Every structure is written in C-alpha cells, then in structure tokens.
Structure 1
C-alpha cells in the first residue's frame, strides 16, 4: 500500500505464497529482496514492514537487509527502511509520549475529596495519599480515562467537569516523555459514595477533607504537584473554572469528533 509521502506500507502476509505465510525465512528473504529492488527502481522512499508475531522468523531476515525497528504491539513489530541513498531519512520517529491522568474527585455534598494509596509502583509503601491516577488507553480521551480510572480503582461513579491543569515532563518509562492531565470530576447525582477498591492496584482509599488533601508531606512547596494541588482547591471553591473539553467535528472533510480543550470564558 502506498502512503502519502512516497513510501509503501507492507504487511509481511502480502507475500501470499504458502511457504511465506508458513514463516519460511529463506522464501521470505527472496521475496523481500525482489520487492526492495522493485521499490528502489520506482523511486519509493520509505518502506514500512509489518511483521506478525506468528512470523517472527522474518524479523532477522529484514534486519540483515537494513531494516530497523520502529515500534511493536502485542501482535506485530513494525520495521522501516529508507531507500534513497542521497538524502537523510524523513521517516517519523515512534510516538514520543505517554499520556496520564490524575482525577481530583469532589463530592459536592460533603466537600470531601477521594484519595487512594497505591499497592504497587513508585507511590506505594510511602504512606502517600494521592488522587487516583493512570495512563490513557489507545484511542481513549482524557475525560473518559479519568472517569474510568476512578471507577476501576474505587468503584465511584463520576462526571467530568474540567481539566484543572497539565504537566509535561521527560521522565516517562523507557525514555518516553510524559503528559499528565489533572482532571476535575464530581460524583454523579444519586451515585453511591461507598468505596470498593481494586485489590490488584489499590491498598487503601478514603474520602478526605480538603485540608487532608493539601497537607501532604510528600508535596514540595513550589513543585508542579504543589501548583496543581493549589488549582484543585481553587476549582473546588469555585474560584477557578479550569479548561473545558468541547467535543467538536474533526473537519477537513473527515468524519468523527475530537475533544478540543479551551479556556472557560
């Protein structure tokens, strides 16, 4: 399949000879060599080669011919090769960021906030009470992820209100950068306040006063967490509206909608 940048996207299953689909490296090598020669003659620039997990024997064949790893998922690995010899590669790098959310959950009836202690991870075993947090799943929007994390970790049903703030850092796992959205949620009308923790991830959870939330010895004054906590308090006191999330048409002649984050007017 040709891409929009003068390259090709190739699934290794496209080589439809029976011995190739069976994972025969020798047959795959012959087919790949012939294809690269054809692509080069046509002026193809970049080649994206998707190799399925069940044909992993094709990977060393491809790397021995100059293909390099780009990214991997559970069911495949993607390799790339830049063909022009007289110019630098313009193949884009793999995704550089992970995206996380922290859910500041306010019970408007009691003015209490939802806090958890994690069972595992860097926040565990430190007597650290914190807002529920987690990473976005592929294709998931920030508001949806925040509500999902709260439901999974505590069993509390919430509604999205606002994005309180965002932190951008370069300390993510495996060398990735990290975007973290602090989201303001409220308990749904009529929803239970009874907490049911996720035992695989959460050690404890509780409803706490705002004073307990703010009086956190692990939060250093002047730090990014300190600034976000201060904004949480202002939002809870109706002194700060945050950033609203509008779901708007994608546009450019394409179907679908996307969340667009803009300041409250």
Structure 2
C-alpha cells in the first residue's frame, strides 16, 4: 500500500503552492540586481517600443510627487504642507517629525503608508497598487530631532521607500540617520533614481550621504531636504563620476530608455 501511494504521489508531482503564495507581489528591481547582466544588441533596443514615462515633481522639503503611466499619483514624505496638482492616491511617510508625516492626512487619500510599525515591529510594506509595486527597507532613526550623532536611536523607525513602475526602480531615502550596511544595500537592490537628503546635519553628514549615493550608483540622483546646504559643496563631495544638471523646471519626465548613460545629479527648481 505504501509503495502504491508513493507511486501515485510521484506521478502527481510536488504539491502546488496556494494561490495566494503564487500571486504574491515580487520585486523586479531586486530580481534584476541579483541576476547576471544581459547585453541587448543596439538594433533590438531601437526596435523596442517606447518605454512609458514617469513624471517626478519636486513639491518642497523632502516631498516629491510621482505620476505614473497608469495615472497613479504618489507623494513621498507626505505632511500635507507641500502640495502640487491633484490629491495623491498614495502617500508615504517616515517617523522623523512634523514636516515628514501627518497623523491626520486627507481622508480621501486611499493609501497611506507608514514607514514605522504601529505595533512595535518593523514596518513591512510590499504592495501592488495600480501600476506600481511599493516596498520599504527600514533603518534606525534618532529619538529626538537633533544633529547629535550620539542620540538614542529608535530601531526600524524610518523607512527607505522604493517604487517600481514602468521598468524603473525609484528610491527615497527618507530621514536617513546612519550609514547603510551590506544587508541594507542587498535589500534595496538596484535603483535607477534615488532621492537623497543633503542637509548635512539633521539627517547625515554630507560625507556620509555622498558615500551612500556613490555606492547606490543610480542613474539619476534627486537631492532634497536641503535647507542652506551649498549645492556646490554637495556636488564637490559626490565626486567627478557624477554629472551635474540644473533644471529650470520642477518636473522631471523620464523613462527607462531616457535614463542618462552617466550617473547624473539633477537639481530641479525649488531644491
């Protein structure tokens, strides 16, 4: 009898995973960062259909609005103080202070994502919303609003949010207070566009954030959380391997195909 059952199970094969497990969202950016590089002939790239474009608008402080090809609107570090255009569909927040989050967002916003856990555990976000996959990587944050590097830290109190849309991997470092280790970089994966705080005091030193930016080596770097930081100083520290481009408009419209060939710091109007 046992032999008969073994034969039957052998014919049936391995058990099928539940539908929920099969349909769970996955990160394409992590998959691409871990896969070996593939060379695509130039001729095939030219024949490919034009990639969908994403619009990224600087609203103020550390808030960027991301408008997707599918019509979704996302606001980063949303406090309600920096608005532009229509109400966002998705807002992300970290646990820094009042200029980075709101406990009373407009109730018409359907998706409010906190970068901290409400139950004392790390926030774990991996959601498919419209044409965007949103996920987070937690970091620690100083308990008090201070530039004192020895201040007590709240474990997993901040999140780096990553938005995967139209073949692009877009990261927002949030109110980052410490250097990233190898586990952070592995969890972040590949980034095409990264938004970095350059205040040099309340988040990280310019040397620290410049080191992280060089390590991430995104095609596009969008500064934010600037205060009075001289832009020339950030440009000097970021290194000669990055191009610098100052724009007169607040919005960057970009696609996978139009990413610059050399890593470029793009400074939008208002930054």
Shorter chain as normaliser: what TM range? under 0.3
TM-score (structure 1 length as normaliser): 0.26
Greater share of helix: 1
Greater share of strand: 1
Task: For CA contacts below 8 A with separation 6 or more, give which structure has more relative contact order.
Answer: 2
